[in-house]
């Protein structure tokens, strides 16, 4: 099972409403646990086992975001993983509030199972809010940035 298949499996289980699903073959075992509809993230426990556990999100409730930033477009996480605002510890952040971003430009990195995935903006405009906290777990579909379209 490659990373994309694993991500799709986790998305499927999360959306299904099941509280726990295990999948086991000769080469791997995957267990996805959701805490009563909460989002999940996965942690490598051993070379042959990957488990998903409830994630604690510090993101603002969507209703608050919609009221205050109704004209903005959200850049959302396309996967479950760890959110990083900069490419490495000694480098500056990709984008700050007030910075302009163009469609296709990298705005952050999400690490999933030791793979670092550059996340690109799908919209051109100005960053008006950074929702996710640096180096914290994010879930699939979680809002990372709000952009005021140009």
- pLDDT tens digits along 74-121: 899 999 999 999 998 899 999 999 999 999 999 999 998 889 999 999
Vertex 132, ends 127 and 135: CA angle to 5°?
Answer: 120
Which residues of 1-150 form beta strands (DSSP E)? 20-24, 29-33, 40-46, 49-54, 73-76, 81-84, 100-101, 106-112, 115-120, 125-130, 136-138, 143-149
Do 140 and 68 have their domain in common? Answer: yes
Q: What's the CATH code of the domain at 106?
A: 2.40.50.100
Q: Please state, in angstroms and rounded to a whole number, the distance separating the CA atoms of residues 90 and 63.
A: 36
Sign of CA dihedral 141, 142, 144, 147: positive
Q: Please state, in angstroms and rounded to a whole number, the distance separating the CA atoms of residues 147 and 26.
A: 45
- pLDDT tens digits along 128-148: 999 999 999 999 999 999 999
Do 83 and 136 have their domain in common? Answer: yes
Which one-letter DSSP state was computed for residue 82? E
More confident residue, 49 or 89: 89
Q: How many domains does the chain have?
A: 2
- Domain extent for 105: 62-149
What pLDDT score does 49 carry?
A: 41
Do 73 and 137 have their domain in common? Answer: yes
Do 42 and 68 have their domain in common? Answer: no
Do 73 and 143 have their domain in common? Answer: yes
Do 32 and 97 have their domain in common? Answer: no
Do 81 and 100 have their domain in common? Answer: yes
pTM for this prediction = 0.56
């Amino acid at each position: 099972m490659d990373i994309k298949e694993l991500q799709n499996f986790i998305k499927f289980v999360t959306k299904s409403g099941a509280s726990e699903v295990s999948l086991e073959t000769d080469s791997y075992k995957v267990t996805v646990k959701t805490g009563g509809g909460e989002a999940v993230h996965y942690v490598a426990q051993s070379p042959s086992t990957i488990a998903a556990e409830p994630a604690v999100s510090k993101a603002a409730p969507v209703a608050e975001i919609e009221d205050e930033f109704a004209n903005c477009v959200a850049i959302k996480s396309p996967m479950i993983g760890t959110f990083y605002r900069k490419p490495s510890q000694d480098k500056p952040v990709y984008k700050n509030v007030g910075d302009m971003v163009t469609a296709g430009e990298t705005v952050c990195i999400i690490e999933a199972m030791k793979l670092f995935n550059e996340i690109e903006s799908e919209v051109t405009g100005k960053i008006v809010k950074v929702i996710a906290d640096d180096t914290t777990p994010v879930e699939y579909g979680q809002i990372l940035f709000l952009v005021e379209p140009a």
